[in-house]
Structure 1
Amino acid sequence: MKNWIQAIIAVAALALPAFLMGIPPEEGLKRLKEGNQRYVKEDLQHPNRGAERRAELSSKQKPFAIVVACSDSRVSPEIIFDQGIGDVFVVRVAGNVVGPLELDSIEFAALYLKASLVVVLGHESCGAVQATLDNNTQDIEAIAEKIQPAIKGVDPKAKGALEKATKDNARFVADYISKTPVISKLISEKKLLVTTGYLELKEGSVEWGF
């Protein structure tokens, strides 16, 4: 009898939409990578943006990924990953830094919405990182305070300093998130993957997991 029950549950699970089931972290990463390739090639699908999707999400949401991105107007995760309504839970702040408020949002999406992937997305020509490198942080002191520990080993006069600092900052943030109690537990249970991305603005392509 037990085997029959398990078989019925398995068949029912296959019939459920991804919206209800959630997806493994690796599948979520694959979706974002494929979406970014469509963006680069200008072969956008604009998925999950119609009336049916709006109705489906009117009382609940189940995003498969969390993207921690910069507030920069050129960095819109739903666009650069060609995703639709309800696919991506986005946390945006200049310099893609994370403090208590941002961490609460990330934990909420991971724990209660069951998102299985976190991407910390830095980008080319990040003004917040550049200002911190140049020690020109008037009016962004709180953000610069979060960036400074990540980039302390970067020579601001070296070639490629901004790109290195931006990637170091994304890695620093990803590492911080990964070591927090709630997130580290989900990672240990293989329910969550935390990775990094770097957006090249002109080409639109994202470099992953540096």
Structure 2
Amino acid sequence: MTEQDFIPLTPSEALERLREGNRRFLEDAPYQPPMDRLRRLHLAAAQRPFAAYLSCSDSRVPPELLFERGLGELFIVRNAGNTLCASALGSLEFAVTQLEVPLIVVMGHEACGALRAAVAVAREQRQFSGNVSKVLQSLLPAVLEADPWAPDLVDAAALCNVRKVVRELREEASPALLGPQSAGKLRVVGAYYHLDSGRVDFLDGAD
């Protein structure tokens, strides 16, 4: 690995690295992270990502590309609607306790298909297959919390869902996550991706 890989980042430094990557992405600046054989061999020995990401499975929302990051830099957990299921929570705990990431980002996005389906369940009593329904059940609280008069209820629910998951990770998660946050070693922030522009907005408390 490069020397930079072993320099621990503070939560604020990790967040700024993401902000800078998205700025480059928006500017269409050329970026070619090291992905050669030597880099792969270094990473085969150990990984040291600087942030963990809970993101939607949507194919239009790949965190590595939106922030112009390379191999071994982001520990990414993805599922439909970026929900905090047991698998996602366990993966984030692993990233914090074993890999010592200083930052967790929860990112939703515009026109989320999972939230659209959850809105259809809440408003139209739509039915989906058993396993899809289990996923949607965890999204319904965000749909009910969202402003019903919002210009786009799906996007409003997506924002509510991000804030709900961030709140759970900040206030109701296990000691494995709460302890490092209290000590200032870990920060949890929300983010929202705009499909049309490519911009990522970091939400409340991420300034």
TM over 0.5: yes
1:160 paired with 2:152, answer: yes
Match of 1:185 among 176, 179, 192: 179
Does the alignment pair 1:118 with 2:104? Answer: yes
Distance 1:80 1:38, change over 3 A: same
- For structure 2, list consecutive stretches of 5 or more residues without a partner in the other structure: none
- Deviations for 1:60-106, whole angstroms, at most 9, x for unmatched residues? 00000001000000010101110000000000000000111111100
Deviation for aligned residue 1:22: 2.0
Over the matched positions of the two proteins, sequence identity in percent amounts to 35
Does the CA contact (< 8 Å) of 2:150 and 2:156 recur in 1? no
Residue 207 of structure 1 corresponds to which residue in structure 2? Answer: 201
Aligned to 2:45: 59
1:150, distance to aligned residue in structure 2 (A): 2.3
Q: What is the letter of the counterpart of residue 115 of structure 1?
A: V
TM-score (norm 2): 0.89
1:21 to partner: Cα distance: 3.0
- For the aligned residues, what is the CA RMSD? 1.5
Structure-2 separation of matches of 1:93 and 1:137: 20
Q: How does 1:133-148 map to 2 (within 5 A)?
A: 133-135=119-121, 136=126, 138-139=128-129, 140-148=132-140
- Say if 2:114 and 2:136, in contact at 8 Å, map to a contact too: yes
Distance verdict in 2 for CA 1:137–1:174, change over 3 Å: farther
Gaps of 5+ in 1: 1-15
TM-score of the aligned structures, taking structure 1 as reference length: 0.88
Given that 2:147 and 2:156 are in contact with CA atoms closer than 8 Å, whether structure 1 keeps it comes out as no
| 1:101-125 C-alpha deviation (Å, 9 max, x unpaired) | 1111000011111111100010110
Q: Which has the larger radius of gyration?
A: 1
Match of 2:4 in 1: 18
Q: Does 1:170 align with 2:170?
A: no
Whole-angstrom distance in 1 between the partners of 2:144 and 2:116: 13
Shift of 1:157: 5.6
Of stretches 127-136 and 41-50 in structure 1, the one that deviates more from structure 2 is: 41-50
- The alignment partner of 2:145 has SS state of coil
Alpha-carbon distance in structure 1 between the residues aligned to 2:104 and 2:143:
21
